[in-house]
Amino acid sequence: QQQVKQSPQSLIVQKGGISIINCAYENTAFDYFPWYQQFPGKGPALLIAIRPDVSEKKEGRFTISFNKSAKQFSLHIMDSQPGDSATYFCAASFSNQFYFGTGTSLTVIP
């Protein structure tokens, strides 16, 4: 059973556009929600993270929106660039147990 459901599986966006990736969870014990970016042949790298006591967090072009009542959170990439082309993973955690989504392959077309 997938603890964290991520969509879409793949996404193609024009340069300068907004990329949106969505995740949903069921376990209300989760209390830490990070997003990771992964390039081919490399390990995931933390992009941005949020705790459930805030509804939004912004770092540069990356924003997490968090809806605690709906048990959903999303990543918005503003002004998407070709260098953002990568696989993105959401995750949810409690007590050192981390559960990852299945990933979204983002392609930004110049």
Partner 1 sequence: NAGVTQTPKFQVLKTGQSMTLQCAQDMNHNSMYWYRQDPGMGLRLIYYSASEGTTDKGEVPNGYNVSRLNKREFSLRLESAAPSQTSVYFCASSPLGYQPQHFGDGTRLSIL
Give the three-class secondary structure for 24.
Answer: strand
Report whether 75 contacts 86 (CB < 8 A): no
Nearer to partner 1, 12 or 39 (CB): 39
Nearer to partner 1, 63 or 104 (CB): 104
How far is residue 34's CA from residue 64's CA, in Å, rounded to a whole number? 9
Q: 30 to 89, contacts with partner 1 by CB under 8 A?
A: 31-32, 34, 36, 41-46, 49, 89
Q: CB atoms < 10 A from the CB of 96, how many?
A: 6
What size, in residues, is the chain? 110
Minimum gap (Å) between residue 22 Cβ and partner 1: 15
C-alpha dihedral, 100 to 64 to 23 to 97, nearest 10°: 30
Q: What is the closest distance, in whole angstroms, from the C-beta atom of residue 61 to partner 1 in the complex?
A: 19
How many residues touch partner 1 (CB under 8 A)?
A: 25
Binding site for partner 1 (CB under 8 A): 4, 6, 31-32, 34, 36, 41-46, 49, 89, 91, 93, 95-103
